[in-house]
Amino acid sequence: MSAARPRRPVGGAGRPWGLWGLRGAVLAYLALMIAVPLLAVFQRGFRDGLGAFWGELSSPIAFDALKLTVLVAAVTAGINFVMGTLTAYVLARYEFPGRRFLDGLVDMPFAIPTLVTGVMLVVLYGPSSVLGGWLESRGVSVIFAKPGIVLALLFVTYPFVIRAVQPVLLAAERYEEEAAFTMGASKWTVFRHIVLPTILPAAASGALLSFARALGEFGSIVVVAGNIPRRTLTAPVHVFGEIEAHNERGASAMSVVLLALSFGLLLLVDWRQRRKVQVLRG
């Protein structure tokens, strides 16, 4: 941007109260909608002291719920990392029948209500369905078990890695890849040594975002998991249970942990992106 641009009437000329009114309104709205409610939950979590806070979290049910949530979120992020990178690569580099169709439907999981996702999985894999009954007879239970939770999370977080990697692949300069081909490198060598290092940061960011999203997922899991304490009860469903049981202290303690985890992840992704931008600029 050049320094010599016309003076804009921001702040100075005209009616400064108009601008300040707008600024004030937006700040007040954000404070009331986001900051104050979040603070209230944190305050509620610690109101009865640290001892009570830890007491709520260290109950076996709460602790196992947290452990399960982190576990399934990690599995989801890992699978997304691999399959999302693969899908993005295929979409960006190959022309094949159905490419446009798949590309258009990548965002579908963001548009479909999460509860509907859960219902769909129950219809497909539930004990009374053909497929579910067949799996059950072979000793594999999907619904009301951990595989169902992971399937729901994979559905819900499908776009994250793909949408993070795709623009990087499309914007990448191709001459390095072409040079490597010319020198006789195989497709796989080129992918491993040239393409992968380029897209790895984006794929990692996407996987982290899908991890954060998986931590808080409720709508699909509540239908699929069966919510059996210490076995298939995840942390957000545990929060719901505590609210229903009028145990605000328990609900807020778990909420504080989940919020801290996902805000931490968000900061991490943000920091990584900012660092990347600085590297590009410098």
Partner 1 sequence: MADTARRFERTTAAPVGEPSTEGRVRPRLSEWIVIGAALTYAATLLFAPLGALAWGALSRGIATFFRVLSTPDALSALKLTFLLAVGATAINTVFGVAAAWLLVRDRSFPGRRLVNGIVDLPFAVSPVIAGFMLIVLFGRTGWFAPLADALGVKVLFAVPGMLIATTFISLPFVVREIMPVLQQLGEEEEDAAYTLGASRWRTFWSITLPGIRPGVQYGVLLTFARAVGEVGAVLVVSGSIVGLTETSTLFIFRALDERNPVAGYAMALVLAISSFVLLTAMEWTKRRRSSGV
Report the residue number, 204 or 250, with the smaller CB distance to partner 1: 250
Distance CA 81, CA 73 (A): 12
Q: Give φ, ψ of 97 to 5 degrees.
A: -60, 130
For residue 99, the minimal CB distance to partner 1 (Å) is 8
Distance CA 263, CA 167 (A): 25
Residue 170: both structure tokens together: 């499309």
For residue 138, the minimal CB distance to partner 1 (Å) is 17
Report the residue number, 151 or 204, with the smaller CB distance to partner 1: 151
Select from 57, 61, 120, 135 the one that contacts partner 1 (CB under 8 A): 120
For residue 58, the minimal CB distance to partner 1 (Å) is 20
Site for partner 1 in 2-61 (CB under 8 A): 5-6, 8-11, 14, 18-19, 22-23, 25-27, 29-30, 33-38, 40-41, 44
For residue 240, the minimal CB distance to partner 1 (Å) is 5
Rule CB under 8 A: say whether 70 interacts with partner 1. Answer: no
CA distances from 208 to 73, 90, 157 (A): 10, 22, 11
Residue 282: both structure tokens together: 């410098």
In 106-184, alpha helices (H): 108-111, 114-125, 130-137, 146-156, 159-171, 175-182
Select from 66, 77, 151, 202 the one that contacts partner 1 (CB under 8 A): 151
Report the residue number, 142 or 204, with the smaller CB distance to partner 1: 142
Select from 134, 270, 275, 277 the one that contacts partner 1 (CB under 8 A): 270
Binding-residue total with partner 1 (CB under 8 A)? 91
Helices 248-281, 36-46: inter-axial angle, 10-degree rounding: 130
